[in-house]
Amino acid sequence: MPLALFAWTVSAHTHLRELEIGTTQYGSGVCIRPFNDPSTIDYPAKDPTDPFMRCRATNTTVRAAKICDAVAGGNITVNWYAGNTPGEMGINPSHKGPCIIWMAPLVSNGEGNVWFKIFQDGYNPTTKKWCVDTINANNGNLTVTVPSDLLAGQYLLRTEIIALHLAFLPYTGDKNGAEYYSNCAELNVSGSGKSLPSPGVAIPGVYTANMPGIVFNLTAPFTSYTIPGPNVYQVGKPGSVGGGNPGGGTNPPCTKTKKRKRRQLSQEL
């Protein structure tokens, strides 16, 4: 293996680099909550019981510089970026696993049973592709829709990739176990909706180290994968987020965005 490729393979993880809301792109210095240490922004969370895995922030009180406006029913494109990678790779392609997008009321700061899913995509047995493959083919981009009936207000948006390349054994404080690549952004959602999805789940708390979907062997033969956590919220059904793996629900289709060159990011505060 060429030395440069080896260095990329062992070092490349990922972080949320930007959001596109409407026609405006916001970089990590705007509505994405800041990283505690820029030198470790690509490092994963490993312990599913550690508050660090909520937003990959050691200081959970640090806020974003701005709460960015979004519209219920509108689209948000999230962009993951793996440092030290060729091109616009979202994450090392060996880090197979699902992508999940969560929301929670901002006033909660993400604490307690407040989180609900608005999107998830895992493994497609027909194409034999993971969500990680999809975002890498799309320059690290994934477009999701804010529920059209969501109650107007301020929210946290949590983006998450669960990498399964070391998940053949549960996390026990060593190098094994799933890797959680999560980040949080702050949104002000407008609209006429009246729904606040419930019941929510706690993060940390929604995952355990040895639950199905967190423990998964990519090297053994498989034909399916169950995404861990509750069901995705269904518009018009405020109580639809229970169950799951303890559920998994039906995944909404993964929305692809047109491959695009990087544009100047909005840095307006």
CB atoms within 10 A of CB 20: 20
Q: Give the containing element (helix H, strand E) for 78.
A: strand 75-81
Q: What confidence tens digit (pLDDT) does each residue in 213-223 have?
A: 999 999 999 99
User: What is the predicted pLDDT for the residue at 243?
Assistant: 56
CATH architecture of 14-190: Distorted Sandwich (2.70)
Q: Does the structure show a pLDDT above 70 at 111?
A: yes
Confidence of residue 86 (pLDDT cuts 50, 70, 90): low
User: What is the predicted pLDDT for the residue at 261?
Assistant: 44
Q: Does the structure show a pLDDT above 60 at 10?
A: no
Q: How is the beta sheet containing 75-81 ordered, strand by strand?
A: 24-27, 15-21, 75-81, 141-145
For 242, phi then psi, to 5°, come to -75, -175
Cα gap 190→77, rounded to integer Å: 17
Percent of the chain with pLDDT over 70: 82
Number of alpha helices (DSSP H) and beta strands (DSSP E) in the chain: 3, 11
Token representation of residue 166: 């070391």
Mean pLDDT along residues 104-118: 96
Per-state percent for the chain, helix, strand, coil, to nearest 5: 10, 30, 60
Mean pLDDT along residues 150-170: 97
39: left (phi over 0), alpha (psi -120 to 50) or beta: alpha
Q: Does the structure show a pLDDT above 80 at 122?
A: yes
- Which one is predicted more confidently, 29 or 52? 52
DSSP conformation letters of 150-218: BBSEEEEEEEEEEE-TTTTS--SSSS-S-EEEEEEEEEEEESSB-B---S-B-TTTS--TTSBTTB--T
Confidence of residue 58 (pLDDT cuts 50, 70, 90): confident
Token representation of residue 110: 């993400």
Decide: 225 and 96 in contact? Cβ < 8 Å: no
Q: Does the structure show a pLDDT above 50 at 266?
A: no
Average pLDDT, the chain: 85
Cα gap 25→77, rounded to integer Å: 9
Mean pLDDT along residues 19-31: 91
- Lowest-confidence segment of 16-20, 68-72, 174-178 by average pLDDT: 174-178
Which residues, in sequence order, are bridge partners of residue 24? Answer: 21
Q: Does the structure show a pLDDT above 50 at 133?
A: yes
Q: pTM for the complete prediction?
A: 0.86
User: What is the predicted pLDDT for the residue at 137?
Assistant: 93
Decide: 252 and 240 in contact? Cβ < 8 Å: no
State which of 25-29, 154-158, 244-248 shows the largest mean pLDDT. 154-158
User: What is the predicted pLDDT for the residue at 237?
Assistant: 81
The domains of the chain are located at: 14-190
Mean pLDDT along residues 78-97: 82
Mapping DSSP to helix (H, G, I), strand (E, B) and coil, where does residue 99 land?
Answer: strand
